[in-house]
Structure 1
Amino acid sequence: MNLLFGRTVSLQLRLSVAVVLSIVLIVGDRYTSGGTFVRTSLNTLVSPLLYLANMPYEAFNIGMKSLHTRERLQQENQVLKEKQLLQSEQLQQYQFLLKENQELRALLGASAKQVNNRLITQVLSVHSNPYSHQVVVNRGTIDGVEEGQTVIDEMGIVGQLTQVGTTTSRVLLMTDTTHATPVRILRNNVRTVVEGTGKINTVRLVHVPHSLDIRIGDVLVTSGLGGTFPEGYPVAIVTEIDRNEGLPFAQVFAEPVAQLDRIRLLVILGKQAGEALNNE
């Protein structure tokens, strides 16, 4: 077998060639559209493998469901009926509040907020390490999704779409070290920013003054600033506050409300509807 480099080539020369090639690839990816095309093509090529790798789980899941006893199903049915009853009561209150909100907006001459378009998606694989928290979902450009769209679960914000392929896309989780979410404290509407820490159950608030009115247990929701996340979705709950005067800012940590370590079904919010909420 012929080697790319002969045995007479020094290690320094090999390293120099590798560094030069790396720099060329980085510059080409940064200033040309070729890198995006290559990533999209690779995502498209890998998509069948992701579906194939997900088949054993689906087969196992179907087998487990078939083992449920009638008594278990009856108990689940009873729980669902009770939950439906409670949600029906909440829905009645929602209809009343919606009507009241419309009347107030009519008095103020404001337009009603548009309702988000929603698309349910399923997690195919999880890519998680201290440097990157991402999952792959079974939606892509053929479903009309785009990079930057907000992703939630039944509890709150999960993250946003990135690297959208033809049939699959990657979701950057809010706990990733490169992710930031504009939020406000629900109790007093004070705005701040939440950043990922690389830990699946912890995020931190950045540049928090020692005098900021924030307490353990405060609920953080999306503020709508920046135009990425629509306003009002739950993000995290404050769990730890360290007001060490020796530091320029208070150290504040929170726990995401979304169950990021067990997500399976997610909802992708329409990008245009989300922007409409923020432009109002």
Structure 2
Amino acid sequence: MLKLFKLLGNKRLFVILIALVMFIALMGFTLGPRATLSWPEKFLRDTVGFAQNIFYKPAGYVAGLFKDIGNMRETYKENEQLKIALAQYTREKANYNFIEKQNKELMEDLKFTKQQEGKFDYSYHIAQVISVNADTVNKTLVIDLGERDGVKIGQSVISIKGMVGVISHVSNFTSTVKLITTMDAKDPNSNGIAATSMDNHQTFGIVESYDEATQMLLMTQIKQEDPIKAGDMIVSLGDTDKYPRGLIIGKVKSVQESKFGKTKTATIEPEAEFQDWKQLFVVFTPEAPK
């Protein structure tokens, strides 16, 4: 029995000695200068790398997800700010365009009034069109000048290009304008306009009706020997208070003999545009003081 224990003890010591030698050999092998790793080192590194890959990838994904959420919030805030800035820019651009256009129109209007004021001692009040009545029988429009501004029934209303109509009704703050396109020689309440030619003051006639089909004014009672011709610019003669002298009516398109051959009739294209009104003018004369 004692010999057995000695034998086993010697074997255990032998195994420990062999393990120690192998460990020293392995240490020497790994610590030496080498170009490649040993298979135990490779196995160990691969094992550690695989474990790191398992734990680090999900962790990196979660961290990236929270970062992306934060970036999305910042992007959303910036997007909202850009939308607000864009809306403000759009409003300011629209206001700028409106003011620029209005300023240009007023500059043109001012130039017009300066030219006209010194011509016949008239004054002109700018009026804005409030509403338009497109009724075929009673075409009228409403402007934002009234009694408080000195407007009276019968005053002429013009645009920069030509005559538009006359004031037919007046209230404190607004006035109604009856358009010259409603003129009808058969209507006893429709007053004709005594007119002449800017090119030849020997011309005389009465603009008293409007042809809806041709959209032309008709000038009648023109004498046979009258020198009126196509292309003449027709203006008011100014023999009544309602239509002051020198207001542009339109241009002669054609001249034809009347039915009985004693007078001539001229077809006149109105200079004023009877749509898309912006600013109009109420004409104040010395006979119709403010």
Q: Assess same fold via TM > 0.5.
A: yes
Give 1 or 2 for the bigger CA radius of gyration. Answer: 2
Q: Tell me, in whole angstroms, the C-alpha distance in 1 between the residues paired with 2:259 and 2:179.
A: 32
The CA RMSD measured in Å over matched residues stands at 3.5
Q: Tell me, in whole angstroms, the C-alpha distance in 1 between the residues paired with 2:259 and 2:91.
A: 55
Partner of 1:171: 177
Query: Structure 1: which 5+ residue stretches go unaligned?
Result: 1-63, 99-112
Partner of 2:254: 240
Deviation at 1:275, TM superposition (A): 5.7
- TM-score, normalised with respect to structure 2: 0.53
Q: Structure 1's 128 and 240: CA in aligned 2 closer, same or farther, altered over 3 A?
A: farther
Partner of 2:138: 132
Decide whether the 8 Å contact of 1:203 with 1:255 is kept in 2: yes
Of residues 174, 184, 188, the one that matches 2:196 is 184
Q: Structure 1's 115 and 207: CA in aligned 2 closer, same or farther, altered over 3 A?
A: closer
Of residues 151, 154, 171, the one that matches 1:148 is 154
Question: Residue by residue, what CA displacement relative to the aligned partner does 1:10-41 show, whole Å, maximum 9, x if unpaired?
Answer: xxxxxxxxxxxxxxxxxxxxxxxxxxxxxxxx
Q: Tell me, in whole angstroms, the C-alpha distance in 2 between the residues paired with 1:255 and 1:221.
A: 12
Q: Structure 1's 274 and 215: CA in aligned 2 closer, same or farther, altered over 3 A?
A: farther
Question: Residue by residue, what CA displacement relative to the aligned partner does 1:186-237 show, whole Å, maximum 9, x if unpaired?
Answer: 1111222112315394211022233321111110111111122221221111
Of residues 208, 212, 233, the one that matches 1:195 is 208
- TM-score, normalised with respect to structure 1: 0.55
Q: Structure 1's 124 and 239: CA in aligned 2 closer, same or farther, altered over 3 A?
A: same
Q: Tell me, in whole angstroms, the C-alpha distance in 1 between the residues paired with 2:211 and 2:139.
A: 7
Decide whether the 8 Å contact of 2:155 with 2:282 is kept in 1: yes
Decide whether the 8 Å contact of 1:229 with 1:274 is kept in 2: no
Q: Tell me, in whole angstroms, the C-alpha distance in 1 between the residues paired with 2:135 and 2:264.
A: 27
Q: Tell me, in whole angstroms, the C-alpha distance in 2 between the residues paired with 1:215 and 1:266.
A: 30
Q: Tell me, in whole angstroms, the C-alpha distance in 2 between the residues paired with 1:210 and 1:216.
A: 15
SS of alignment partner, residue 148 of structure 2: helix
Decide whether the 8 Å contact of 2:120 with 2:245 is kept in 1: no
Q: Structure 1's 66 and 250: CA in aligned 2 closer, same or farther, altered over 3 A?
A: farther
Q: Tell me, in whole angstroms, the C-alpha distance in 1 between the residues paired with 2:142 and 2:157.
A: 12
SS of alignment partner, residue 214 of structure 1: coil
Identity across aligned pairs (percent)? 22
Q: Structure 1's 69 and 165: CA in aligned 2 closer, same or farther, altered over 3 A?
A: closer
Q: Which amino acid aligns with 1:115?
A: D
Partner of 2:85: none
SS of alignment partner, residue 193 of structure 2: strand
Query: Structure 2: which 5+ residue stretches go unaligned?
Result: 1-89, 184-189
Q: Which amino acid aligns with 1:132?
A: N
Q: Tell me, in whole angstroms, the C-alpha distance in 2 between the residues paired with 1:169 and 1:69.
A: 29
Q: Structure 1's 275 and 163: CA in aligned 2 closer, same or farther, altered over 3 A?
A: closer
Decide whether the 8 Å contact of 1:150 with 1:268 is kept in 2: yes
Decide whether the 8 Å contact of 1:201 with 1:260 is kept in 2: no
Deviation at 1:69, TM superposition (A): 11
| Greater relative CO (CA pairs within 8 A, separation 6+) | 1
* Aligned 1:34-183 pairs, distance under 5 A: 115-177=121-183, 178-183=190-195
Q: Tell me, in whole angstroms, the C-alpha distance in 2 between the residues paired with 1:208 and 1:137.
A: 34
User: Structure 1 residue 264 and structure 2 residue 278: aligned?
Assistant: yes
Q: Structure 1's 221 and 169: CA in aligned 2 closer, same or farther, altered over 3 A?
A: same
Decide whether the 8 Å contact of 2:181 with 2:217 is kept in 1: yes
Decide whether the 8 Å contact of 1:116 with 1:274 is kept in 2: no
Question: Residue by residue, what CA displacement relative to the aligned partner does 1:67-90 show, whole Å, maximum 9, x if unpaired?
Answer: 5599x89x98xxx6xx98xx7xxx
Q: Runs ≥4 in structure 1, deviation > 6 angstroms?
A: none
